[in-house]
Structure 1
Amino acid sequence: MSISTTPPVTLPDGGAEFTFVYLVPRGERAMFVTRDYHVTEPQGPVIAKAELVTFYQRTTNSPAEIVEAIPKVPDMLIAGATGAETIWRVRLRVTQKLPDRFDVVPPAFEIALNKYPVRTFTYRYFPDRKAYGLCR
Protein backbone atom coordinates (compact mmCIF):
# COMPACT_ATOMS: atom_id res chain seq x y z
CA MET A 1 0.00 0.00 0.00
CA SER A 2 1.22 3.50 -0.74
CA ILE A 3 0.11 7.08 -0.18
CA SER A 4 1.03 10.15 -2.22
CA THR A 5 -0.24 13.67 -2.72
CA THR A 6 -0.70 16.18 -5.51
CA PRO A 7 0.13 19.91 -5.33
CA PRO A 8 -2.40 21.76 -3.15
CA VAL A 9 -4.78 24.34 -4.55
CA THR A 10 -4.44 27.63 -2.66
CA LEU A 11 -7.80 29.27 -1.96
CA PRO A 12 -8.30 33.06 -2.17
CA ASP A 13 -9.08 33.32 1.58
CA GLY A 14 -5.73 31.76 2.56
CA GLY A 15 -6.97 28.18 2.92
CA ALA A 16 -6.16 25.27 0.63
CA GLU A 17 -7.44 22.04 -0.91
CA PHE A 18 -5.36 18.87 -0.66
CA THR A 19 -5.58 15.59 -2.56
CA PHE A 20 -4.21 12.32 -1.23
CA VAL A 21 -3.99 9.15 -3.32
CA TYR A 22 -3.87 5.69 -1.78
CA LEU A 23 -2.95 2.61 -3.86
CA VAL A 24 -4.16 -0.66 -2.38
CA PRO A 25 -2.99 -3.92 -4.05
CA ARG A 26 -5.60 -6.56 -4.96
CA GLY A 27 -6.53 -8.72 -1.97
CA GLU A 28 -5.39 -6.17 0.62
CA ARG A 29 -7.27 -3.92 3.02
CA ALA A 30 -6.33 -1.24 5.49
CA MET A 31 -8.51 0.04 8.35
CA PHE A 32 -8.29 3.68 9.39
CA VAL A 33 -7.42 4.14 13.07
CA THR A 34 -9.29 7.49 12.97
CA ARG A 35 -11.02 9.35 10.14
CA ASP A 36 -9.50 12.77 10.79
CA TYR A 37 -7.02 14.63 8.61
CA HIS A 38 -5.39 17.17 10.92
CA VAL A 39 -3.53 20.34 10.02
CA THR A 40 -0.91 21.09 12.64
CA GLU A 41 1.83 23.56 13.41
CA PRO A 42 5.08 21.86 12.31
CA GLN A 43 5.32 18.92 14.74
CA GLY A 44 2.96 20.84 17.01
CA PRO A 45 -0.68 21.17 18.04
CA VAL A 46 -3.68 20.76 15.75
CA ILE A 47 -4.78 24.08 14.24
CA ALA A 48 -7.54 22.76 11.94
CA LYS A 49 -9.38 19.64 10.89
CA ALA A 50 -9.61 19.31 7.11
CA GLU A 51 -13.14 18.83 5.81
CA LEU A 52 -13.93 16.14 3.25
CA VAL A 53 -14.77 17.36 -0.25
CA THR A 54 -14.76 14.00 -2.09
CA PHE A 55 -13.59 10.44 -1.50
CA TYR A 56 -13.75 7.97 -4.33
CA GLN A 57 -12.31 4.74 -5.64
CA ARG A 58 -11.64 2.93 -8.90
CA THR A 59 -9.44 0.06 -9.99
CA THR A 60 -6.37 0.91 -12.04
CA ASN A 61 -7.82 -0.81 -15.10
CA SER A 62 -11.13 1.13 -14.95
CA PRO A 63 -11.65 4.28 -17.02
CA ALA A 64 -11.03 7.42 -14.96
CA GLU A 65 -14.59 8.63 -15.49
CA ILE A 66 -16.04 5.53 -13.80
CA VAL A 67 -15.60 6.15 -10.09
CA GLU A 68 -17.61 5.38 -7.00
CA ALA A 69 -17.96 8.42 -4.72
CA ILE A 70 -18.24 7.91 -0.97
CA PRO A 71 -19.92 10.57 1.24
CA LYS A 72 -17.52 10.20 4.21
CA VAL A 73 -14.10 8.81 5.04
CA PRO A 74 -14.71 5.03 5.06
CA ASP A 75 -13.82 2.65 7.89
CA MET A 76 -11.30 0.90 5.67
CA LEU A 77 -9.81 0.85 2.19
CA ILE A 78 -10.41 -2.43 0.40
CA ALA A 79 -8.92 -3.33 -2.96
CA GLY A 80 -11.29 -4.33 -5.75
CA ALA A 81 -10.94 -7.75 -7.36
CA THR A 82 -10.96 -6.58 -10.98
CA GLY A 83 -7.66 -4.68 -11.06
CA ALA A 84 -4.10 -5.09 -9.83
CA GLU A 85 -4.58 -2.09 -7.54
CA THR A 86 -7.44 0.09 -6.39
CA ILE A 87 -6.97 3.85 -6.34
CA TRP A 88 -8.59 5.65 -3.43
CA ARG A 89 -8.52 9.43 -3.86
CA VAL A 90 -9.50 11.89 -1.12
CA ARG A 91 -9.85 15.64 -1.61
CA LEU A 92 -9.88 17.80 1.52
CA ARG A 93 -10.38 21.50 2.20
CA VAL A 94 -9.28 23.88 4.92
CA THR A 95 -11.10 27.21 4.58
CA GLN A 96 -9.37 29.13 7.36
CA LYS A 97 -6.18 31.06 6.69
CA LEU A 98 -3.18 28.79 7.08
CA PRO A 99 0.24 29.77 8.46
CA ASP A 100 3.28 30.04 6.20
CA ARG A 101 4.37 26.53 7.22
CA PHE A 102 2.22 23.63 8.46
CA ASP A 103 1.78 19.86 8.40
CA VAL A 104 -1.12 17.76 7.13
CA VAL A 105 -1.35 14.50 9.07
CA PRO A 106 -3.46 11.74 7.47
CA PRO A 107 -4.96 9.10 9.76
CA ALA A 108 -2.86 6.06 10.67
CA PHE A 109 -3.78 2.57 9.42
CA GLU A 110 -4.16 -0.84 10.91
CA ILE A 111 -3.16 -3.62 8.53
CA ALA A 112 -3.36 -7.26 9.68
CA LEU A 113 -3.65 -6.11 13.32
CA ASN A 114 -0.51 -3.95 13.10
CA LYS A 115 -0.81 -0.18 13.44
CA TYR A 116 1.15 1.86 10.87
CA PRO A 117 1.71 5.60 11.13
CA VAL A 118 1.35 7.54 7.91
CA ARG A 119 3.83 10.06 6.59
CA THR A 120 3.30 13.66 7.66
CA PHE A 121 3.13 16.06 4.70
CA THR A 122 4.77 19.45 5.35
CA TYR A 123 3.73 22.46 3.28
CA ARG A 124 4.92 26.03 3.10
CA TYR A 125 3.80 29.20 1.36
CA PHE A 126 5.85 30.35 -1.63
CA PRO A 127 5.32 34.14 -1.98
CA ASP A 128 6.70 34.27 -5.53
CA ARG A 129 4.06 31.74 -6.68
CA LYS A 130 1.39 32.98 -4.25
CA ALA A 131 0.67 29.34 -3.46
CA TYR A 132 1.36 26.55 -0.98
CA GLY A 133 3.73 23.77 -1.97
CA LEU A 134 4.98 20.52 -0.51
CA CYS A 135 8.33 20.64 1.28
CA ARG A 136 10.88 17.92 0.58
Structure 2
Amino acid sequence: PQPWDELLAVSTPQLSFQAVFNHAAATRRGGERRPGGALACFAGGAMADDLFELSDEAIVTRFAADLISLYPQLEGKLDEGAVRRHRRVVPFWAPGRRASLPVLRNPLGPIHLAGDYQLDMPSLADAASSGENAGKAVLASMGR
Protein backbone atom coordinates (compact mmCIF):
# COMPACT_ATOMS: atom_id res chain seq x y z
CA PRO A 1 0.00 0.00 0.00
CA GLN A 2 1.08 3.57 -0.76
CA PRO A 3 -0.06 6.83 0.89
CA TRP A 4 -1.67 8.05 -2.34
CA ASP A 5 -3.66 4.88 -3.05
CA GLU A 6 -7.02 6.21 -1.84
CA LEU A 7 -6.46 9.84 -2.85
CA LEU A 8 -8.03 10.90 -6.13
CA ALA A 9 -6.28 14.28 -6.10
CA VAL A 10 -3.77 16.20 -4.01
CA SER A 11 -3.40 19.99 -4.19
CA THR A 12 0.27 21.01 -4.46
CA PRO A 13 0.37 24.82 -4.76
CA GLN A 14 4.03 25.17 -3.69
CA LEU A 15 5.43 22.73 -6.27
CA SER A 16 6.10 23.02 -10.01
CA PHE A 17 2.63 21.56 -10.61
CA GLN A 18 -0.61 22.51 -8.86
CA ALA A 19 -2.21 19.11 -8.40
CA VAL A 20 -1.54 15.37 -8.64
CA PHE A 21 -4.32 13.11 -9.85
CA ASN A 22 -4.47 9.39 -9.10
CA HIS A 23 -7.10 7.97 -11.43
CA ALA A 24 -6.59 4.46 -10.02
CA ALA A 25 -7.77 5.55 -6.55
CA ALA A 26 -11.32 4.37 -7.16
CA THR A 27 -10.10 0.84 -7.88
CA ARG A 28 -7.93 0.67 -4.78
CA ARG A 29 -10.42 1.38 -2.03
CA GLY A 30 -10.18 -1.36 0.56
CA GLY A 31 -9.01 -3.99 -1.88
CA GLU A 32 -5.73 -5.71 -2.45
CA ARG A 33 -3.22 -3.42 -4.13
CA ARG A 34 -2.28 -4.52 -7.62
CA PRO A 35 0.55 -3.15 -9.76
CA GLY A 36 -0.14 -0.37 -12.20
CA GLY A 37 -1.69 3.03 -12.24
CA ALA A 38 -0.32 6.48 -12.91
CA LEU A 39 0.03 9.74 -11.06
CA ALA A 40 -0.79 12.70 -13.31
CA CYS A 41 0.73 16.06 -12.40
CA PHE A 42 -1.14 19.16 -13.56
CA ALA A 43 0.00 22.76 -14.00
CA GLY A 44 -2.35 25.40 -15.32
CA GLY A 45 -2.67 29.13 -15.88
CA ALA A 46 0.39 31.37 -15.64
CA MET A 47 2.42 28.49 -14.20
CA ALA A 48 1.76 26.43 -17.33
CA ASP A 49 2.57 29.43 -19.52
CA ASP A 50 6.05 29.57 -17.95
CA LEU A 51 6.52 25.82 -18.50
CA PHE A 52 5.86 26.24 -22.23
CA GLU A 53 9.34 27.76 -22.46
CA LEU A 54 10.91 24.45 -21.30
CA SER A 55 11.51 21.20 -23.17
CA ASP A 56 9.41 18.15 -22.34
CA GLU A 57 12.48 16.57 -20.73
CA ALA A 58 13.02 19.61 -18.47
CA ILE A 59 9.37 19.55 -17.39
CA VAL A 60 9.48 15.82 -16.65
CA THR A 61 12.68 16.28 -14.63
CA ARG A 62 11.19 19.16 -12.62
CA PHE A 63 7.89 17.38 -12.01
CA ALA A 64 9.62 14.13 -11.05
CA ALA A 65 11.81 15.91 -8.48
CA ASP A 66 8.78 17.62 -6.93
CA LEU A 67 6.72 14.43 -6.99
CA ILE A 68 9.52 12.60 -5.15
CA SER A 69 9.71 15.46 -2.63
CA LEU A 70 5.99 14.88 -1.99
CA TYR A 71 6.23 11.07 -1.99
CA PRO A 72 9.82 9.90 -1.31
CA GLN A 73 8.61 6.30 -1.78
CA LEU A 74 8.66 7.00 -5.54
CA GLU A 75 12.45 7.37 -5.66
CA GLY A 76 13.71 4.98 -8.37
CA LYS A 77 10.18 3.83 -9.25
CA LEU A 78 9.06 6.41 -11.81
CA ASP A 79 8.75 5.34 -15.42
CA GLU A 80 9.26 7.66 -18.35
CA GLY A 81 7.06 10.74 -18.07
CA ALA A 82 4.80 12.15 -20.76
CA VAL A 83 3.96 15.82 -21.24
CA ARG A 84 0.71 17.06 -22.75
CA ARG A 85 0.57 20.74 -23.56
CA HIS A 86 -2.70 22.66 -23.83
CA ARG A 87 -2.82 26.45 -23.99
CA ARG A 88 -5.35 28.00 -21.63
CA VAL A 89 -7.96 25.28 -21.61
CA VAL A 90 -11.12 26.34 -19.79
CA PRO A 91 -14.52 24.72 -19.43
CA PHE A 92 -16.83 25.50 -22.33
CA TRP A 93 -20.55 25.86 -21.95
CA ALA A 94 -22.71 25.59 -25.05
CA PRO A 95 -25.36 28.31 -25.41
CA GLY A 96 -28.08 27.83 -22.82
CA ARG A 97 -26.23 25.07 -20.94
CA ARG A 98 -25.06 27.27 -18.03
CA ALA A 99 -28.64 27.08 -16.81
CA SER A 100 -27.71 23.66 -15.38
CA LEU A 101 -25.17 25.17 -12.95
CA PRO A 102 -27.61 25.56 -10.03
CA VAL A 103 -28.44 21.86 -10.33
CA LEU A 104 -24.74 20.92 -10.30
CA ARG A 105 -24.12 23.07 -7.22
CA ASN A 106 -26.78 21.30 -5.14
CA PRO A 107 -26.11 17.94 -3.49
CA LEU A 108 -27.76 14.86 -4.96
CA GLY A 109 -28.55 13.02 -1.75
CA PRO A 110 -25.18 11.92 -0.35
CA ILE A 111 -23.37 12.96 -3.55
CA HIS A 112 -21.74 16.40 -3.66
CA LEU A 113 -20.23 17.48 -6.97
CA ALA A 114 -17.14 19.66 -7.08
CA GLY A 115 -14.94 21.29 -9.67
CA ASP A 116 -14.07 24.48 -11.48
CA TYR A 117 -16.79 23.83 -14.07
CA GLN A 118 -19.30 24.93 -11.42
CA LEU A 119 -17.82 28.42 -11.18
CA ASP A 120 -18.42 31.55 -13.24
CA MET A 121 -14.67 32.11 -13.74
CA PRO A 122 -12.89 28.77 -13.20
CA SER A 123 -9.54 28.51 -11.44
CA LEU A 124 -7.56 25.65 -9.97
CA ALA A 125 -7.62 27.24 -6.50
CA ASP A 126 -11.42 27.48 -6.63
CA ALA A 127 -11.64 23.90 -7.88
CA ALA A 128 -9.55 22.75 -4.89
CA SER A 129 -11.76 24.75 -2.51
CA SER A 130 -14.85 23.31 -4.16
CA GLY A 131 -13.50 19.79 -3.65
CA GLU A 132 -12.60 20.45 -0.02
CA ASN A 133 -16.04 21.89 0.69
CA ALA A 134 -17.75 18.94 -1.01
CA GLY A 135 -15.63 16.50 1.01
CA LYS A 136 -16.54 18.24 4.26
CA ALA A 137 -20.22 18.18 3.30
CA VAL A 138 -20.05 14.44 2.58
CA LEU A 139 -18.36 13.77 5.92
CA ALA A 140 -20.94 15.91 7.72
CA SER A 141 -23.77 14.01 6.04
CA MET A 142 -22.20 10.79 7.35
CA GLY A 143 -22.06 12.18 10.88
CA ARG A 144 -18.27 12.53 10.91
Higher relative contact order (CA 8 A, sep 6+): 1
TM-score by length of 1: 0.27
TM-score by length of 2: 0.27
Please state which structure has a larger fraction of its residues in helix: 2
